[in-house]
Structure 1
Amino acid sequence: MEVTLLMAMTVDGKIAKNPDHFPDWTGPDDKKFFAERTRQAGVVIMGARTFQTLKKPLPDRLNVVMTRDDSRTSSWNNVVFTTDPPRRILTWLESLGYREVILAGGAIINSLFAAEGLIDRLIVTVSPKVFGSGISLFNGQVSMALALEGVKIIGQDVVVLSYRVVGHPKI
């Protein structure tokens, strides 16, 4: 099971201004890229706060929402709320036939997967914005060694950086 962390971030490395910041700051090229990659994988894993900012599920793919609230249920057929840890979620998704999952944040969920060494690839789209302060890609200390796989410009102003995780050195 390949786990790809796919996130948009600002030039100064922020994924949002605050936990409730709606992701409307990225441009249409980034949104199109995100939609294509997540549809290709067929499944997106995110935290409850990230899901809450979206207001509705991402169509045409399974939305797996990690939550601490085990009473949450979904009225959508493509949304699953789970309190399971990352490894158990991946085992379940693999049993359903998925070969790749997109990890779409936020920082806490990204960090949970990173702490267990479960992220295989990072793809970040760098948008021409600066927030100055806000939420980083990860929450807390994370250590990964990366190998650059590719750099691509989409649209006029967005750079896509693709990295393969090659190790998890001690911090």
Structure 2
Amino acid sequence: MKVSIVAAVAKNGIIGINNSLPWHLPEDLAFFKQTTLGCPVLMGRKTYESINRPLPGRLNVVLSGNVHWAPAPAKDGTPRSVIAYPAALPEGGATQIATATNLPNALNWLSNFEQVFLIGGSNLYQQALNQNLVDELILTEIHQSFEGDASFPQWDRQLFREVERITNTATPERAWGFDFVKYAKVDN
């Protein structure tokens, strides 16, 4: 199983403010969807609550230390069903919500999948990088600094090599550019 981090990161390392993105970048949202569709996405509880719904076409695994955590009901008031670790997981890209209490259990649970995307927040990214669990980073590197309260963790760039970069220049509507960059773990 390949474990990939997906994040949009400002020039100054910021990734969020008040459980939201500090920028509006439709190209990044489309890239994120295209990249993760059909694969499990693993996120912390705060990240899930900031989205406030399961991402369609993906198994949404939410990490929470609270074994009784449950997502908010759907807009029509219908409770959302949750698969709790270690119950059997569905195959494919069905829209489902699953919960686990820690990262190692969640990754073990997802081991039958070809690829898993870690989509936030900063604590999850830090934990995965510290435990050497990440095979690749897929970053939207934004060429602008933003104010925020959540940052992407420092990472050892010697452990990864850049394998792809797609440059997007500034436009009249957006005064700053950004790059989609893929970093692969260096084989030891």
TM-score interval w.r.t. the shorter chain?
Answer: 0.7 to 0.9
Q: Does 1:136 align with 2:174?
A: no
1:57-103 superposed Cα distances (whole Å, 9 cap, x missing partner): 111101101011111235146111210x32221221123xx110001
Task: Check whether the contact 1:26–1:127 (CA below 8 A) recurs between aligned residues.
Answer: no
Identity of aligned residues (%): 26
Partner residue, 1:14: 14
Residue from 95, 104, 115 that aligns with 2:119: 104
Partner residue, 1:117: 132
Partner residue, 1:63: 60
Alpha-carbon separation, structure 2, partners of 1:51 and 1:113: 18
Residue from 61, 76, 99 that aligns with 1:81: 99
Greater percentage in strand: 1
Alpha-carbon separation, structure 2, partners of 1:16 and 1:93: 27
Task: Check whether the contact 1:7–1:123 (CA below 8 A) recurs between aligned residues.
Answer: yes
Equivalenced residues, count: 160
* Segment of structure 1 superposing worse, 146-155 or 53-62: 146-155
Q: CA deviation at 1:25?
A: 1.7
State the superposition RMSD in angstroms.
2.2
TM-score, normalization by structure 1: 0.83
Change (3 A) 1:58 1:76: farther
Change (3 A) 1:155 1:34: farther
Runs of 4+ in 1 over 3 A off after TM superposition: 141-144
Partner residue, 2:107: 90
Q: Who wins on radius of gyration, i.e. which is larger? A: 2
